[in-house]
Amino acid sequence: MKRRLNRTFTASLIVMALLFGQQDEISKSRQNAITKAVELVSPTVVGINVIEVREYRDPFANFFGNDPFFRQFFGNRNYRQEVKGLGSGFIISPDGYVLTNDHVAGNAKEITVTLTNGKKYQADIIGTDDVSDVCLIKITPEKGETFPFVKLGNSDNVIIGEWTIAFGNPFGLFDNIDKPIVTVGVVSAKGMNLNVDGNRSYRGLIQTDAVINSGNSGGPLLNADGEVIGINTLIYTGGVSQAYIGYGFAIPINRVKPIVDELQRKGKVERNFWTGMEIRPVDAQIARYFSLKQAQGVIVSDIKKNSPADRAGVQVADIIVEINGERIVDESRLISVMQDSRAGDLWKMKIYRDKKIVAVEMKLEKQI
């Protein structure tokens, strides 16, 4: 009887060991590339709270318009007000450089950065660029302190359909738990060009269906290797609301890298160049005259002597249809390309001339 009990007990131990082993295998199987990337990168993501000073016009001033009689009593009636805002960012160096969007922190009077360990730091703006919507800020480490930082990847190698991980501070939820909110999706498209918003130029964006909402701006978009491939910047709302309804957009990190370098060195991005050519959009009348199938591109209407365009061989009546691989469908697309260019850049252009496509290279020169 005792021997039988021993055998039963032993069998029970074996079954329990097998069950525990199986459970351990199940637990291990829950770990994948995404969970490992989240664990690796989370400490580098920060919540950003800002205070801006915005100027508003008194509604009574608008009511009275420009009537000089009332102006002597009410004046301009403009007033300033402090406004709070929030967003996300991520640490890119052990000494505390943080990347975010210009529209998050570029005009801030005061910036507070919260780390995942709960510590808060006041940040300084090193440089900001409203055209690219990139802002570089810095927090100062305590003596002997270093910060965890993320690895910047190669956005040129992004594959449509690969996993993406978005980190951030949507609706200020980071502040509740001192941890970034994580969403997962795939790369839906790349090379997306959106209409210029004010002075901003949104070109070559990565589109993802990872959920991005208000407050995610400035946070990192990662691949499954835990590398940053973009900065979460925009959401598509379809004009319905300010909430996510399907697609978000990130600035490719390869576009951001040279901007960060310039902001660190100069505190700003210099775009002081000239081409020496004047252009106008191709309308239906011009398209008919040149036997074009569509009214697309921009036509050169004038060229300054000894200008970059003149030396490159550009001619009046040339129609520019492509610059550095990007189709120039209208004037706004050319302006967008110009906003993203610097003195010294080389424009490889495709030009429609004499009913054929001609390749022309033009080097942008600093305007004196």
| % of the chain residues with pLDDT over 90 | 57
Marked catalytic residue, from 102, 129, 130, 133: 133
The domain spans of the chain are 43-139, 151-266, 273-366
DSSP three-state, residue 237: coil
Active site residue 102: no
Polymer length in residues for the chain: 368
Write down the mean pLDDT value for the chain: 85
Q: Is the domain 151-266 a CATH 2.40.10.10 member?
A: yes
Cβ-proximal residues to 211 (8 Å cutoff; 6+ apart), any chain: 166, 183, 185, 244, 248
State the Cα–Cα distance between residues 93 and 106, nearest whole angstrom: 20
Asked if the model's pLDDT at residue 100 lies above 60, the reply is yes
Strand pairing partners for 181? 168
The single residue listed with the structure tokens 């210009």 is 102
Q: Is the domain 273-366 a CATH 2.40.50.140 member?
A: no
State the Cα–Cα distance between residues 279 and 311, nearest whole angstrom: 17
Active site residue 27: no
Structure tokens at 69: 């009689």
Structure tokens at 225: 């290797």
State the Cα–Cα distance between residues 275 and 228, nearest whole angstrom: 35
Active site residue 155: no
The helix (run of H) or strand (run of E) holding residue 336 is helix 331-339
Report residue 58's pLDDT band, with 50, 70 and 90 as the boundaries: low
Marked catalytic residue, from 155, 201, 217, 341: 217
Asked if the model's pLDDT at residue 222 lies above 60, the reply is yes
Q: Is the domain 43-139 a CATH 3.40.50.720 member?
A: no
- C-alpha separations of 118 from 50, 150, 177, 180, 302 in Å: 17, 18, 8, 12, 59
Q: Do 43-139 and 151-266 fold alike per CATH?
A: yes
- Per-residue pLDDT tens digits for 178-220: 788 899 999 999 988 886 566 788 888 999 999 888 888 999 9
